[in-house]
Amino acid sequence: MEKLSPSAINKNLLILHFTVFIWGFTGILGSLISIGPVEMVWYRVMIASITLLIYFKATKFSIKVNRKEFLSFFFTGSIVALHWILFFQAIKVSTVSVTLVCLSSFTLFTAILEPLIKKTAIQLSDIFIGMVIISGIYLIFHFESHYTEGIIFGLSAAVASSLFSIINSNFAQKSDAKVISFYELSGAFFWITIYRLFDHSLLNEHFNLSVQDWIYLFILGTICTALAYIAGVSVMRTLSAFRVALISNLEPVYGIILAFLFFGHKETMSAGFYMGSFLILGAVFLYPIYKKRQSKS
C-alpha cells in the first residue's frame, strides 16, 4: 500500500464516500427508469462495457488475458447480471429502502458461503453477526409482509452479490480489477443477450425509449457503473481494507436518504421496519470493527 500524506488520504476518503454515494443512487435510478429489470441491466452493462473500452483505448491500457482467465471472468459475469436483475426487480415490486436494507444482508451470506467455498472453518463471531441480521430480516418480513416479494428478491440479490464478491476476491489476487470488471460486464451483457434472444424480447427491441429513460440509463451505465468502479478501485490501492469496508457499508444509508428525498411518503415504513433495519445495519457496521480487533488479539 502506498504511503500518502494526510491530505492525500483525506482526498481518497472523499472519493470513496462519493463512490459509495453513487452506488446508493443506483436504486433511485432503478425506480425512475420505466423499463423492466432485464432490459435495464442489458442497457446498463452494454453502456458500461463500451465506456470502459473507450477508457482503455484512451489510456492505452492492456486488457489481454489468457483463455482460462477470460472464461472465468466471462462466466462470472452471469452472476453479476443475475444480481443486478434481482436487485432492480426488488425495487420494482417494493421500495428502494426495502431493497437496500435486504441487500445489506450480503454480510450474512458471505459469512456462510465463503467458508464453504474456500473450505475454512466458520467463525463464532460470524454466526453471532448472522443471527443478529436474521433477527432484523424477520422483523422486516413481519411488519412489511406486503413487500414479501420484494424482500425475497432483495435477499436473493444479496446472495448473488456475496457469491461473485467471493469469486472476485480470488481473481483480484492475480489480475487487475479493471480488467476483471470489463470482462465480467461484457460477460453479463452476453448472457443477458442470450436470454433475451430466447424469450424473443430482443427481437422486438426498437431502442425507442423516452429521452428521460435514455438519460437515466446513460448515468447508470457510465457514472454509476464504469466511472464509480474505476474510482473505487483507485482508492482501494491506498486505503486499508477496513476503511473501505466500513465506508462501503454506508451505501444503504445514502440510498435510503436519497429515496426519502426523491419519493417522500412512498418510502415511509413501519416502526418494525426501522427496528429491523437498525439491527441489520448495526451488525453490518460493527462486523469489520470486530474483525479488525479480533485480528489484533
The HSE-up count of residue 156 (CA atoms within 13 Å, CB side) is: 17
Q: Helix count (H) and strand count (E) of the chain?
A: 13, 0
15 within some domain? yes
Domain tally, the chain? 1
Q: Which residues contact 141 (CB under 8 A, 6 or more apart)?
A: 148, 151
CA distance 245 to 167: 17
> Is residue 91 a contact partner of residue 157, using CB atoms and an 8 Å limit?
no
Q: In 94-227, which residue ranges form alpha helices assigned H by DSSP?
A: 96-103, 106-118, 124-143, 148-171, 177-198, 211-221
48 within some domain? yes
Q: 206 is in which domain, residue-wise?
A: 6-296
1 within some domain? no
Tens of pLDDT, residue by residue, the chain (297 residues): 455 667 777 788 888 888 889 988 999 999 999 999 999 999 999 999 999 999 999 999 999 999 999 999 999 999 999 999 999 999 999 999 889 888 888 877 887 888 888 787 777 777 787 888 888 888 888 888 888 999 999 999 999 988 888 887 777 678 787 888 899 999 999 999 999 999 989 888 888 899 999 999 999 999 999 888 777 766 766 666 556 666 777 888 888 888 888 888 777 778 888 888 888 888 877 777 777 777 666
78 within some domain? yes
CA distance 142 to 273: 9
CA distance 243 to 213: 35
Q: Which three cell numbers stand for residue 215?
A: 438519460
Q: Give the CA radius of gyration of the chain.
A: 19
Instruction: For residue 222, give the DSSP letter.
Output: I
CA distance 218 to 211: 11
214 within some domain? yes
103 within some domain? yes
Question: What does pTM read for this prediction?
Answer: 0.87
93 within some domain? yes
